[in-house]
Amino acid sequence: MSFPPDDIERLVTKIAAILRSRKENLAISEAACGGLLSAYIVTVPGASNFYIGGKLVYSLRQRLKLSGCTDEEISSYVGPSEQVALRLARTAKYELGSTYVLSETGFAGPSKDLHLSDSDSKSTATASDAEVGTVYLGLCGPTGEVSCMRNTGSKVRASNMVEFARLGLQFLLDQLERIESTES
């Protein structure tokens, strides 16, 4: 097995070419992928000329706090959504100052436990109706914001993480190509 897989290498090579040709850059806000998106992006030689970095805050409570959620919003949080993905992208764009931010959040599995309750918390949060294998993707850039939801149909955590990253990169490429076609 090679890293990255051939299909991922094709995606990141195309993404890099578009961003470099337009002298734009990218940051990533990751959750359920656990760093795979960034790992895939930096396999491109010279990635530092278009990839400024990203953030991976795996603890949900900390990720929500760093995205500007109040304690009340955290205690009523019901799980990943397109709105959450966009909020993560917006926050990272503000913090990192990149042209684009790709964000992802979802349920990789094996459960949908939000892990928000602790000894000091009165959280009553329960997970949304989304199934394990659901990922929400967000992109924030100079022409606006766009988001989507995808489902892998799998309950296998590692497989979902890999597929979430592939889906995120494909979503990013599709949006960059769409923007490029409207500018030509």
Residue 89 contacts residue 55 (beta carbons within 8 Å): no
Q: Cβ contacts of residue 138 below 8 Å, gap of 6+?
A: 82, 85, 86, 87, 88, 89, 101, 102, 103, 104, 145, 146, 147
Q: Cβ contacts of residue 22 below 8 Å, gap of 6+?
A: 180
The Cα-based distances of 71 to 62, 67, 118 in angstroms read 11, 12, 13
CATH number of 6-183: 3.90.950.20
The domains of the chain are located at 6-183
Partners of residue 105 on adjacent β-strands:
136
Q: In the prediction, which pLDDT does 119 show?
A: 40
pLDDT along the chain (184 residues), means of 10: 94 98 97 96 98 87 79 83 93 95 95 63 54 96 97 97 98 95 81
This prediction has a pTM of 0.90
